[in-house]
Structure 1
Amino acid sequence: MTGTLENADWPTFGWMDDIRPSLAGAMADGRPAVLATLFKVEGSAPRGPGAQMLFTPGSHDSIGASGYFSGDCIEGDVAGHAAQVLADGKPRRLHYGTGSPWIDIRLRCGGALFVMLERIAPGSTGATELLRHARERRPCLWDSDGHSAMVREDAGPLLTFTEEPLRIVRRYDPPRRLIVSGGDPGALAAAQLGAMARFETILVRPQGPEAPPPFPVSQYLRCAPAEALETLGIDRWTAYLGATHEDEHDLGGCLAALRGGAGYTGMIGAKSRAPGRLAVLEALGATPGELARLHLSPGIAGLGKSPWEVATGIMAEIMQALNPASERA
C-alpha cells in the first residue's frame, strides 16, 4: 500500500466528521483501520483538538479516509503515515506547522497541529465497545496510548492528553439524531438536509405512503409522532421537529420530546398560533421549564420562506443546540 489518498481531487471524505460509521464498516469487512486524532493545536487551525480521521485499505493500493484536519494541507501526508501504521502496527506521533521536522509541508493558517495515529485491528475490543455505546446511545471515553485502547462509560471534556508518554482520552457522544414528523415540502427539505449533514435522520409521517421517501433516511415510520418518540427513546443528542401542521400530531410529538429531554424541540407554524399551542401543552402538563425550551416558528428570520430556506434556518438552530457549549468557540 502506497498511502495514496482515495478521491484526493474531490475530498468529500471530509464531510464525514464522525469516524464511527466508517469504523463499523471496516470491522464488518474484517479490515484493519488507523485512527488519527488531532490532540493538540497551537495558533490558528481549521479544526480543534479532538478532530479525527479514519484510514482504511482502499482499492488499487490506495487508502480510504473519513474526516479532515486542515482542508487539504496535510491529509495526504497523514495518509502516507497511516499506510505505514497499517503495515507495521506501530503508533506514530505527527507534528505539522511551526516547529515541525517537515518544513516542506506548510499550514496556511500558520499554526501547529499534533496528531496521534493508532492501528485498530478488526477484532479490537475497544472498537467493539465504542460501537456498542454508539448503538445504545451512551456517551463514553476512548482511552489510548496508541498501543492499546479501552473504552469507559463516562463523560468529560472532548479531549484530554498527557505528553510523555503520550496518552489521549477522547469523548464520544451518541450520534446526533433528527426526528422530523410530516410530509410536505418543508418537512422533506428539513429531513433531507439533516441526512446530508450526517444526522441519524428519522422521518415520521402518520399514515403516510408505504413507499419510502425519495431520499435516504435512517428510518421511515408511519405512526403518530408521540408513538414514534416513545419507541425510539429521546435524549439530549436528539432533535425533534414537528411539521405535520396538525396539532394532534405535532403537539403530541413536542410534548414527548420535551419530557424526554431532547436537545432541540421545534414546531413549524404561524406565530399567531403560538399562544394557543402553548396553552394546550400547559393543559397537558408541560412545565414552564419545558415550554421555555420549545421553538415555535423556528428558523432564522430573513433567509426566506421557500422550503429550503426555512429548513436551512431550522437546521442551523438544531446544530447550534446540539453542539456542546464548550465546543462552540
Structure 2
Amino acid sequence: MTTLADQPLTGEIESADWPEFGWVDDIRPALARHAATGRPAALATLYQVAGSAPRGPGAQMLFAAGADGGVSASGYFSGDCIEGDVANHAAGVLADGRPRRLHYGMGSPWIDLRLRCGGALHVLLERVTSDSPALRGLLRHAAERRSCTWVSDGETQSVTEDAGPLLSFTNEPFRIARRYDPPRRLIVSGGDPGALAAARLGAMAQFETIVLRPGGPQAPPPFPVAQYLREEPAEALARLKVDRWTAYLGATHEDHHDLAGCLAALRGHAGYVGMIGAKSRAGERLAALEAAGASAEELARLHLSPGVPGLGKSPWEVATGIIAEIMQALNPARERA
C-alpha cells in the first residue's frame, strides 16, 4: 500500500513557480478549509530564530495533501530556502502522525540546505486532525474575536484563554505556546474611488474587509469582501462590535455618516480610526465630535486626513498610505513582544 510519505513530493508545492501561498500570514482560514475536507493537515511553526531571518518566531505554514497527491501550502519561512524540504517532512507527519523538529542553517545537520541570510531556523511540524478539539477551540476563538494560545508538544495540543507573548517555548520538556489574536478587520464606510481603493488593498492584504455604504446600491463591490452593508455606520458598528484589532475608515464625505461612525469606532476602542477629508475642515469636525461627547483621549486617537504625506493624491496613492498606517497601528508588536 502506498502511503503519503511514499509519494514523490520532492519538495514540489502547488504553484511553487509563483508562490502566492507565501502571502498568507494567518493560517486559521486555511486550517478551517482543510478541516472541512475531513483530512488532516501539517502545521509548521517557526519557534526559534538565530541571527538574521526573513520571519520571526511565531511565523507559520500549513501543508495539506490534495486529492491528486500534491501538497498545498500556506505561509512561508525563508523565501524559498527551506519550504520544499519542510513540505517533504510534512508529508511524513501526515502519514505517520509523529511530529518533527527541524533545524536549518547554522548548526544544522543538513549542510546541503543553506540559508542565504546566514541565520538558523527551528521549526516544529505537527499533525492537526479535522476533529481536533484544539482546532475547534482555535477557530471558535477567532469567530468570537477573542485571543487565545495554542499549546503543543507536537503530539498533545490544547487551546487556553491565556494570551502572553506571540511565541514562547521550552526545551525540557519541549513545548511551544503560540498566541492568536482576532483576525485583523477593516471597515471602510463609503463608495468613492478612494474608499474602494482602500477596501480593495485591505482585502488583498488579507484584512477581514467590510464595505459599509449607507443606502448604497444593491450590488456588492466589484471585488471580494467579507461583507457589504448598506446601513448607517453607527448602527453597523454597534452590531459588529469593534475592538482593538479593528480599523475604521470614514470616507462617505458626509459628516452625519462619518462623524457618527468615527465616534462609534472610537468608543468601541478600535485600533485605528480615520476620516478622509480636507485638512481645512479638521477643526470643525473635531469641534462637532467634542460637542457629541467625544473625550480628549478619543479625539487624540482620531486620524484626520489619514495617510502618508508625499505619496500623492490619486486613489491608490492615498489608499496605500492609509493601509500602511493601519498595518502599523494594528501590529501586535506595538503592544506585546
- Give TM-score scaled by structure 2 length: 0.96
Inter-partner Cα distance in structure 2 for 1:106 and 1:61: 27
Q: Which SS does the other structure have where 1:5 is aligned?
A: coil
Distance 1:195 1:109 in 2: 31
1:109 match: 117
2:296 match:
288
Q: Which residue of 2 aligns with 1:193?
A: 201
Give the structure 1 partner of residue 318 of structure 2. Answer: 310
Please tell me whether residue 153 in structure 1 is matched to residue 164 in structure 2.
no
- The amino acid of 1:165's aligned partner reads P
Alignment match, 1:60: 68
Q: CA deviation at 1:108?
A: 0.5
Deviations 1:268-318 (A, max 9, x none): 000000000000000111000000000000000110000000000000000
**Distance in 2 between the 1:215 and 1:202 partners?**
12
1:15-164 to 2 correspondences below 5 Å: 15-164=23-172
Pick one of 169, 173, 180 that aligns with 2:177. 169
One-letter amino acid of the structure 2 residue matched with residue 149 of structure 1: Q
- What SS is found at the alignment partner of 2:64? strand
Q: Matched residues in 1 for 2:206 and 2:333: separation?
A: 20
Amino acid at match of 2:140: R
Within 2, Cα distance between the matches of 1:259 and 1:61? 50
8 A contact 2:165–2:336 mirrored in 1: no
Deviations 1:141-193 (Å, cap 9, x if unpaired)? 00000001100112110000001232000000000000000000000000000
- Cα distance in 1 between the residues matched to 2:336 and 2:193: 31
**Any idea what SS the aligned residue of 2:257 has?**
helix
CA contact (8 A) 1:35 1:117 kept: yes
- Give unmatched runs, 5+ long, in structure 2: none
| 1:312 partner letter | T
Q: How far does the alpha carbon of each residue in 1:222-266 deviate from its partner, in whole angstroms, 9 at most, with x for none?
A: 001111101101100000000000000000000000000000000
Hey, what's the Cα distance between the residues in 1 that align with 2:108 and 2:66? 29
Alignment partners' CA distance in 1, 2:102 and 2:315: 45
Q: What are the superposed Cα offsets for residues 55-78 of structure 1, whole Å, 9 maximum, x if unpaired?
A: 111242211110000011100000
Deviation, structure 1 residue 6: 1.1
Relative to structure 1, the CA distance from residue 52 to residue 237 in structure 2 (aligned partners, 3 Å threshold; closer, same or farther) is same
Which consecutive unaligned segments of at least 5 residues does structure 1 have?
none
8 Å contact from structure 1 (residues 299, 317) kept in 2: yes
The offset of 1:326, in angstroms, is 4.8
Q: Percent identity?
A: 75
- Counterparts of 1:105 and 1:58, CA distance in 2: 26
Deviates more, 1:185-194 or 1:51-60: 51-60
2:258 matched residue in structure 1: 250
TM-superposed CA distance for 1:7, in Å, is 1.0
* Aligned mate of 1:207, from 212, 215, 240: 215
Once residues 252 and 334 of structure 2 are traced to their aligned partners in structure 1, the CA distance between those partners, rounded to angstroms, is 34
**Residues in 2 aligned to 1:39 and 1:326: alpha-carbon distance in whole angstroms:** 20
Pairing 1:324–2:327 present: no
Residue by residue, what CA displacement relative to the aligned partner does 1:109-146 show, whole Å, maximum 9, x if unpaired? 00000000000011000000000000000000000000
Backbone CA RMSD of aligned residues: 1.1
Amino acid at match of 1:325: A
Secondary structure (helix, strand or coil) at the match of 2:49 reads: strand
Q: Deviations over 1:82-108 (max 9, x none)?
A: 000000000000000011111111101
Amino acid at match of 1:255: L
Letter in 1 for 2:78: S
Could you tell me how far apart the structure 2 residues matched to 1:93 and 1:119 are?
Answer: 12
TM-score by length of structure 1 reads 0.98
Match of 1:178 in 2: 186
Distance 1:8 1:106 in 2: 19
Deviation of 1:327 after TM superposition, in Å, equals 7.9
CA separation of 1:10 and 1:174: change in aligned 2, threshold 3 A: same
How has the CA–CA distance of structure 1 residues 302 and 204 changed in structure 2, closer, same or farther, with 3 Å as cutoff? same
Is the 1:6–1:58 Cα contact (8 Å) retained in structure 2?
Answer: no
Q: How does 1:218-257 map to 2 (within 5 A)?
A: 218-257=226-265
Do the aligned residues in 2 keep the contact of 1:160 with 1:170 (CA within 8 Å)?
yes
**Alignment pair present for 1:270 and 2:278:** yes
